Each structure stands twice: as structure tokens, then as C-alpha cells.
A and B are shown apart, each in its own frame.
Chain A
Amino acid sequence: GAVVSQHPSWVICKSGTSVKIECRSLDFQATTMFWYRQFPKQSLMLMATSNEGSKATYEQGVEKDKFLINHASLTLSTLTVTSAHPEDSSFYICSASPAALAKNIQYFGAGTRLSVL
């Protein structure tokens, strides 16, 4: 299947700092990417839809000023957690779908585990 790369896989930071997570589609172009968050023993919850060349669409309850999304190219979307706090500690995972393929299967990055001290 298609490959989505996510970096870093694990990050530990101090409270109040910002963390940037990158999501790249390696072998296809993705005009749309999705960012999900998963708390321990829970399911994936959509945070936002990242659109290349335009503003991201955030789900209700997700603070757009806290979770900054930039989708500057057809292969890269970034999620920046600004002024991170311990409650932001979670597993963040991105996905994208190769438009050229049938079924529009969403392929996921390996995820980023964020721990805020």
C-alpha cells in the first residue's frame, strides 16, 4: 500500500514548549490529510482536516490556536502543538489517501507519542 511517514515517533517536552509533528506522503500526492488523536485505551478521534493551500478545518472542541496545522505542499502537513501542557499528552496520528487509487483507502503514519512533563 501507499506510504505515509510521520516524524517524530516519540517526543518528550517540558510544559509550555511547542512541538512540531510532520506527516509526509512518500509516494503519492495528498491534497487532504487528516490528524487524529488517540488517548490510552481509546479510539481515534478526528482533530482536523488539513487542506493543501488553504486553512485547516477543525473539529468541534479542538482549539485551532493551540493545534496549528500547515499543509504547504502536496506531500507534507505539519501539526504544531503550541504551549503544550500535560493534558496534551497523547498519541497523534495522521492519514492520507492517494486520490489515484480506487476505494480511497486512508493510509496512516506510524504516529507520534507526545509526553508533556
Chain B
Amino acid sequence: AQKITQTQPGMFVQEKEAVTLDCTYDTSDPSYGLFWYKQPSSGEMIFLIYQGSYDQQNATEGRYSLNFQKARKSANLVISASQLGDSAMYFCAMREGRDTGRRALTFGSGTRLQVQP
């Protein structure tokens, strides 16, 4: 079974508008972390935002916020006030287990976001 599911292969948004990128996850581990990364055409993976399974509040980082609905196992990324530079692939990822740098991430299939002027 897919551990991370991103159902939107591609999304379009008008510049300055908000957009939500969907992500659902599957794990039986009570401790886990959820991440969003941006991958521009250059290929680098840019960390955007993190949500821990025990975090009570939704994470926010500037124009990025994570809509964490634990019961529904969803961790949607919201980008407010879209900019042309936001056009890229966006990956949702999960690390199962306690906070540790020794566990790899499992990635979703990604969503390609295109911001239109």
C-alpha cells in the first residue's frame, strides 16, 4: 500500500492566489513526521515545512502552512499569495518513528504546480 499519496499530478493557480496541495499518508506508528519539499527544474530538494505527529498546532513557515488533520491522515500544503517562482514539483514525505536523523523519508509521487501570471 502507498504510504504517501498525492492525488494531484498537476495544479494551476493564478499569481497572488492561494493553492492547496493534497497529501494523505498511511502509518501505524504513533510517532512520525511529515515534510513538504519543493523541487524546481534544477533538481534540488528545498525543505519547506515540517509537522510532527504530536504537534498540536498546524505548522506555518511564511507563506506555507500545513493543514494537518490527524484523524483523516492528511497533511495538505497551503501556499498563500502564489508567486511565479513557486512553479515547481512539490513532494510530500513521511518519516516513521521518533525524531531521528537515522530514518529515511518516504516520498509521494509529487504535484507539479504552475503559477500563471
A residues near B (Cβ < 8 Å) are 1, 30-32, 34, 38, 42-46, 49, 91, 93, 95-99, 102-111, 113
Q: List 9 A-B contacts (CB under 8 A).
A: A31-B101, A38-B43, A43-B91, A46-B104, A93-B45, A104-B101, A105-B35, A105-B50, A110-B44
B residues near A (Cβ < 8 Å) are 33, 35, 37, 42-45, 47, 50, 52, 91, 95, 99-102, 104-110
B contacts with A: majority SS: loop
Q: Give the nearest-CB partner of A110 in chain B.
A: B44
Inter-subunit contact B91/A103 (CB<8 Å): no
Pick the residue among A44, A98, A105 that contacts B107 (CB under 8 A).
A44
Inter-subunit contact A107/B47 (CB<8 Å): yes
| Measured CA separation A96–B105 after assembly (Å) | 11
Given the known interface contacts A44-B91, A104-B33, A104-B95, the answer about A91 and B43 at a Cβ–Cβ threshold of 8 Å is yes
Inter-subunit contact B102/A110 (CB<8 Å): no
CB neighbours (8 Å) of A46 from chain B are 104-106
Inter-subunit contact B101/A99 (CB<8 Å): yes
Inter-subunit contact A102/B99 (CB<8 Å): yes
Inter-subunit contact B45/A108 (CB<8 Å): yes
| Measured CA separation A106–B104 after assembly (Å) | 8
CB neighbours (8 Å) of A106 from chain B are 35, 47, 95, 101, 104-105
Q: Name the residue in A38, A106, A107 with the highest tally of chain B Cβ atoms < 10 Å from its Cβ.
A: A106
Pick the residue among A105, A109, A110 that contacts B47 (CB under 8 A).
A105
With both chains docked as a complex, state the minimum distance between the C-beta of B75 and any C-beta of chain A, in angstroms: 14
| Measured CA separation A44–B4 after assembly (Å) | 12
Inter-subunit contact A104/B99 (CB<8 Å): yes
Given the known interface contacts A43-B91, A93-B45, A113-B43, the answer about A103 and B109 at a Cβ–Cβ threshold of 8 Å is no
With both chains docked as a complex, state the minimum distance between the C-beta of B57 and any C-beta of chain A, in angstroms: 14
Q: Name the residue in B44, B45, B105, B109 with the highest tally of chain A Cβ atoms < 10 Å from its Cβ.
A: B45
Given the known interface contacts A32-B102, A43-B108, A43-B110, the answer about A103 and B42 at a Cβ–Cβ threshold of 8 Å is no
